[in-house]
Amino acid sequence: MTTPLNNIQDFFTHLPPTPSHYLTTIHNKRLWIKRDDMNDSEIQGNKLRKLKAILLTAALQQRALLSFGGAYSNHIAALAAAGKRFDLTTLGVIRGEELADPNRQNATLKTAQANGMQLHFVSRSEYRHKAKGKTVQQLTKDNPTWWIIPEGGSNQHALVGTSNIIDEIVTDKTIPTPDTLFCACGTGATLAGILQGAVRHGLHDMRVVGVPVLKGADFLYDTIRAFNPRVDNLNWSLQLNAHAGGYGKTPSELLTFIAWFQQTFAVPLEPIYTGKLCHAVFTLAKQSDSKAEDWLIYHSGGLQGNQ
């Protein structure tokens, strides 16, 4: 008999590493990109990696998964698709009660519901309280075994899968071990997992740079340390000025860069995370000295948001 647990184990066992390839050279910085947008069209990018241990644990313990997100959340999209594929019960608590009106729902929310996710729409003030909000309190009182997953799928389990990004990079013979690795940051769980992988492989010389897409994201230094106390031995930092105005802001300069990038390299980007990430890396390369180095951009996916 196949169970959700067998199916999830089987899926991750057979999931191939994502490819990486060369882009261009700027000021002797050879730029490469690791294409996690190619791991899965529905449960895409870093969201698939973050869900790995969460899905396995939920199936093992036979628990439903309740999580949070805004109307365009890549995590909600991924969790709903995973629930459908692996036969797990999923619930989404969505920011904005006006979205209960089907006429106001975008493709992300419609697809999540079509994938069987039960959505609960809450006001912005209630949403801010997350698991302590009255809707979640009531739901989990009636169903105490439901597992509450933070926004973005960002709990300690998420680091299991995101640390695998480093396992793949060090074993990929088609690319050099990078001097610098760049990734986009929202909650910081992806960066924390990458740093955990770097610790495991003893990559103390590799520089890791997180590019937050939120304005004023220096709190992420504490978040990352809280996830992963061993990171103090690593060479890592946050590029705090590459948010292009703040979360969800898409100034025309950014959109022009994304159009140019897609045209030039035939790599799709989206404006919330990977567009800002690539723009930041190209800007840093142009400002850099002439030392020859390999820089690797981690493409975290998120293309469902383009629909």
CA atoms within 13 A on the CB side of 81: 18
Shortest approach of ligand PLP to residue 44 CB, angstroms?
A: 8
Half-sphere exposure of 186 (CA within 13 A, CB side): 20
Q: What is the CA radius of gyration of the chain?
A: 19
Our measurement of the distance from residue 302's CA atom to the centroid of its chain's CA atoms, rounded to an integer in Å, reads 8
Q: In what order do the strands lie in the sheet with 20-26?
A: 20-26, 29-35, 293-299, 180-185, 207-212, 235-238
Site track 284-303 with ligand PLP (rule: CB under 6 A), x = hit: ----------------xxx-
Residue 186 makes contact with ligand PLP by CB under 6 A: yes
Q: Any residues with CB less than 8 A from the CB of 167 and at least 6 apart, and which?
A: 197, 201
- In the block, tokens 């996710």 appear at 117
How many chain residues are in contact with ligand PLP, going by CB under 6 A? 19
161 lines the binding site for ligand PLP (CB under 6 A): no
Contact status: 187 vs ligand PLP (CB under 6 A) = yes
Instruction: Considering only residues 72 through 101, tell me which ones interact with ligand PLP, judged by CB under 6 A.
Output: 74-75
In the complex, the smallest distance separating the C-beta of residue 63 from ligand PLP, rounded to whole angstroms, is 22
Q: Is 152 in the site for ligand PLP (CB under 6 A)?
A: yes
- Give 202 or 245: the residue with its C-beta nearer to ligand PLP: 245
User: Please, how many CA atoms are within 13 Å of residue 116, restricted to the half-sphere of its CB?
Assistant: 13
Which amino acid is located at 240 in the chain? Answer: L
Per CB under 6 A, which region of 4-12, 42-50, 168-176, 287-295 contacts ligand PLP? 42-50
Confirm or reject binding of residue 274 to ligand PLP (CB under 6 A). Answer: yes
Q: Which amino acid, one-letter code, is at 153? A: G
User: Does residue 45 bind ligand PLP (CB under 6 A)?
Assistant: yes
Indicate the burial class of 226 (C-beta count within 10 angstroms; 0-12, 13-18, 19 or more).
exposed
Quick one: 58 or 189, whose CB is closer to ligand PLP? Answer: 189
Q: Closest distance between ligand PLP and the C-beta of residue 135, in Å?
A: 23
For ligand PLP, the binding residue among 55, 94, 119, 189 (CB under 6 A) is 189
Q: How far apart are CA 112 and CA 75, in angstroms?
A: 10
What is the spatial distance between Cα 291 and Cα 252, in angstroms, rounded to a whole number?
31
CB of 186 to ligand PLP, least distance (A): 3
- Distance, in Å, from the CA atom of 231 to the CA atom of 158, rounded to the nearest integer, reads 16
CB of 302 vs ligand PLP, minimal distance in Å: 3
Indicate the SS3 state at residue 202.
Answer: coil
Position 188 contacts ligand PLP (CB under 6 A): yes
The total of other beta-carbon atoms located within 10 Å of residue 255's CB is 13
Among 46, 90, 163, 239, the residue binding ligand PLP under the rule CB under 6 A is: 46
d(CA 300, CA 136): 29
Which is closer to ligand PLP, CB of 218 or CB of 289? Answer: 218
Using the contact rule CB under 6 A, the part of the chain among 55-63, 94-102, 141-149, 179-187 near ligand PLP is 179-187
Q: Is 39 in the site for ligand PLP (CB under 6 A)?
A: no
CB of 155 to ligand PLP, least distance (A): 11
| Residues at the interface with ligand PLP (CB under 6 A) | 45-47, 74-75, 152, 154, 184-190, 273-274, 300-302
